[in-house]
Amino acid sequence: MYNFLNSRCQKEFQEKLQAKMEERKIDALLLTSPENLFYGTGYISTMYRSRKVGSDIAIVPASGKVSLITSQITQDGAELQTKGDVDVIGYPVWIFIEDYYDPNEKEKSVQPDLFRTIGMACEIIKSKKEDAVVGIEADTMPYDKYMFLVETFGAGKLVDIGKFMIEVRTIKSPWEIDVLRYSAQIAEKMMKITMLYTEPGMTEADLFKIWWQTAYELTGGHELVSVHQDHIPGPDFWGTAMPRERPLEKGDIVRLDGGVSIYGYNSDLGRVYAVSNYVSPDKQAIFDTLLAARDAGIRQFMPGNKFSDVFHATMKVCHEGALPHFVRGHVGHTVGLGPGEEYPMLNPTNNMAFEPGMVLCFEIPYAGSKSGSHNLEDTLVITEEGHELFTNTNRSLFIK
């Protein structure tokens, strides 16, 4: 078992945010998503489950310590995880907690007033600068909370930090790279075990069970924030939140897709294989083409090359092989705290150059009711010399 939180340096993340704030003339950041909250504080919020904006809030000032507002039920955990590097401020909830007993408190609210917590955050910001320019996460900010901020600061003082956070988070620190490497390698082991145990008669629910059990067996559950999957077995190509009941048959193609979140850092891999090590020639031809395209794309990952170079090299091989009709919007994305796939993307018009410290998922999905769902997806980091692959896709549809 690893404990990455022990080696996380809050000062490094804080200074990176504050340097970008100075560049953009932003006086304070109001971080309200669990992903950016973790980036700014090192605290793994229960918002990963609830996603209630305002239940936890981080305030990053232009200089000095970050503040974290959280409920009394989570306050001790927040203080433990942030190791004294962040000012943690608790607020009361509907639950009675002996440790926070207040003789003046005669009644409790049914649920916390999230406008109160946002108001607390606003007071902290105004105490440092009355007419502050405030960066907010506009894409996840509910309208009523946004209007509260407009009334407090004025619309002209609110800045959307969606692109700001993408830029800050794109180049990973050595610590982040270590966590992402570990997360990807756990997911790869989960896939290998799931593939080995697959046999005719199983359903998607059986695959899910192996997948989840393996995640906890490999990690002990200590580092896991979540486990996720988008597996597609057999002739279906549609995603679903509930497992399909169709039993697998010999020769079916199975696509495994997903991973785990380790301390909030996601893995996202894709594998494809044939049930009972049998496959029809047309499905084999698709796999062979995708594998050749994957190898061509991998060679493009080096500093100075462009994101679009990977896309064009990959699609060229697909079109010259068994997939002349293949069309796709992107062949991968950066990966980190999420949620989901992260920008920038490996798409045909993205001329951003690769830089050391970028961690990416490179994928080539192909789906159809006749051919089954395929995906070859690996994770890598750009290095000074080229790249380091965290994972390596299987070279055959037959699993032994």
Q: In the listed set 148, 169, 190, which residue is the last one of a domain according to the structure?
A: 169
Q: How many CB atoms lie within 10 A of CB 24?
A: 14
Percent of the chain beyond pLDDT 90?
Answer: 85
Q: What are phi and psi of 289, to 5 degrees?
A: -65, -45
Largest CA distance in the chain: 76
pLDDT of residue 333: 97
What is the average pLDDT score of the chain?
95
- The reply to whether 63 and 15 lie within a common domain is yes
What is the token pair recorded at 384? 């000074």
pLDDT at 172 over 70: yes
* Contact predicate 267/186, CB 8 Å: yes
Q: In the listed set 169, 192, 218, which residue is the last one of a domain according to the structure?
A: 169
* Domain tally, the chain: 2
Q: Give the tens place of pLDDT for each residue, 74-119.
A: 999 999 999 999 999 999 988 888 888 889 888 888 888 889 999 9
pTM: 0.95
- The domain of 89 spans 4-169
pLDDT at 18 over 70: yes
What is the token pair recorded at 124? 């902290």
Q: Give the tens place of pLDDT for each residue, 219-241.
A: 988 888 999 999 999 988 888 88
What is the token pair recorded at 204? 């998607």
What is the token pair recorded at 64? 């000095």
Q: What are phi and psi of 36, to 5 degrees?
A: -75, -30
CA–CA separation, 347 and 324 (whole Å): 18
Q: How many CB atoms lie within 10 A of CB 15?
A: 12
| Residue 2: pLDDT band with limits 50, 70, 90 | low
Q: Are strands 28-31 and 134-136 parallel, antiparallel or unpaired?
A: parallel
Q: Average pLDDT of 131-145?
A: 96
* Contact predicate 259/269, CB 8 Å: yes
* Contact predicate 353/306, CB 8 Å: yes
* Contact predicate 277/365, CB 8 Å: no
Q: Are strands 158-160 and 134-136 parallel, antiparallel or unpaired?
A: parallel
- The reply to whether 30 and 70 lie within a common domain is yes
- The reply to whether 295 and 354 lie within a common domain is yes
- The reply to whether 28 and 80 lie within a common domain is yes
